[in-house]
Structure 1
Amino acid sequence: MDVDEFWDLIERSGRETDTRRTRVAWLVDDLSRRPVEEIIDYHIWWTTTQNRGCTVDLYAAYWFVFGSGSLDGFEYFVSWLVSLGRETFEAVSDCPDRLIEQPQVLHLLELEDLYANSTKRRPRDPEQMWEERPEFESLAYVAYHAYEQVTGQEPDRLGEAAETRGASSGFPLVPAIGSVPSGEQWDFDDELELARRLPKIARYRNV
């Protein structure tokens, strides 16, 4: 499996299903019908792609746009960003400031604004809320589930197989042991630095 096949699977899973649960199931089913080597290939491309998004500037964009500084949440956000497809992921990972321009992001912010300012708030459907969150943790585990089904081995063996081929994940992030997003670290409280690095997001915050 090459990188084009990897992205084709990610994007087809979105077109073929209408919920996150069915999307994950679709991917697990597809991978489970492939040779083990292709499952490992998929996992390597997933790891490589996630690592590409594990940068301090993308973390800052996530922080400022969605108002969350959770490192676990950032990991799940990167998974969600992958779920949006190759074009969106590559545009935002190459230039995190573009996050605020993405239609999916603007839609989520609009929903939050409508809910926050509604004079007749109604309880939100938990299932719908889950579908709307800019985080997609379970998408990261599809290769593990497929690997376990096909080999009968513990899913952790998949990570070991990928590491023998040089694919090691930058997640989870643990500052205490020096595991942080890659790139030059900067002070998120520095408004001038924010405006320099993420000018569109800085303008959005000041509207």
Structure 2
Amino acid sequence: MDVDGFWTLIEQSEQQTSLRAERVAWLEERLSAIPAEEIVDFAGWWTLAANRSCTWDMYAVYWFLMGSGSSDGFGSFVSWLIGLGREAFETVADCPDAALEVPQIQHVLELQRSFAEDRATRGRRRTGRRVMWTREEWPEFELLSYVSHEPYRKATGLDVYSLYDVLKARGITSAFPSWPDGECWDFDDMEELVRRLPRVARYPGVVEPETSTG
């Protein structure tokens, strides 16, 4: 399986299903129908894609999108990013500051803003309107990263650690669930944020506007 075949499966799984559980099942079924070598290919392309996103700038995008973060949550966020498909992933993989160009990320930000506005309204007066997120909208999708495991076990009779060993023999190891490589930077440092992620920094709510004292 080449990289095009990998992305075709990822995108078809979204097109052919409506719920996340269905999507995972669809991918597991398709992977179970191909040789073990191609299942390893799929797992390898997944790992390489995820590793491209394991940077502190991407972690910052995740942090600002979610309002907080953790290493496990970051891995689930990257799985969600890959699940958006090749075009969306390529938009942000090497340029996290382009995240606001992705419609699904814009949708999450709109949900965040609506939730904050709703919470503020309910704090002032009683209202029947309440903004809620569904699990289908949440920008984390951990289970998607595991879809090759059961098909590999069925095809080989071996456990997932064997899959990791095969990938390692190919020179592929996962950067997760550890923290990104390189030097971390302070997300509260507005100058550094503007330097690294200028478009994200300009998004309302990320950087509070200065108030005039005159």
Q: Give the structure-1-normalised TM-score.
A: 0.90
CA contact (8 A) 1:115 1:121 kept: no
| Distance apart, 1:69 and its partner CA | 2.0
Helix, strand or coil: the match of 1:189? coil
Deviant stretches of 4+, over 6 Å: none
- Give me the whole-angstrom Cα distance separating, in 2, the residues matched to 1:135 and 1:123: 19
Instruction: Describe how 1:91-130 pairs up with structure 2 within 5 A.
Output: 91-118=91-118, 119-122=127-130, 124=132, 129-130=134-135
- Give me the whole-angstrom Cα distance separating, in 1, the residues matched to 2:33 and 2:53: 29
- Give me the whole-angstrom Cα distance separating, in 2, the residues matched to 1:82 and 1:183: 22
Q: Give the structure-2-normalised TM-score.
A: 0.87
* Structure 1: stretches of 5+ with no match in the other structure: 174-179
Residue of structure 2 equivalent to 1:80: 80
CA contact (8 A) 2:59 2:74 kept: yes
Query: Could you say which structure has the higher helix fraction?
Result: 1
Residue of structure 2 equivalent to 1:161: 166
- Which is further off, 24-33 or 66-75? 66-75
Residue of structure 1 equivalent to 2:139: 134
| Distance apart, 1:113 and its partner CA | 2.6
Letter in 2 for 1:182: D
Q: Cα RMSD over matched residues? A: 1.6
Deviation per residue, 1:103-128 (Å, 9 max, x gap): 1111122223323333324584xxx6
Instruction: Describe how 1:51-70 pairs up with structure 2 within 5 A.
Output: 51-70=51-70
Q: Is 1:192 aligned to 2:191, yes or no? A: yes
* Structure 2: stretches of 5+ with no match in the other structure: 119-126, 209-214
| Distance apart, 1:3 and its partner CA | 0.6
- Give me the whole-angstrom Cα distance separating, in 1, the residues matched to 2:91 and 2:197: 14
CA contact (8 A) 2:65 2:108 kept: no
Identity of aligned residues (%): 54
Residue of structure 2 equivalent to 1:206: 207
Structure index of larger Rg = 2
Residue of structure 2 equivalent to 1:176: none
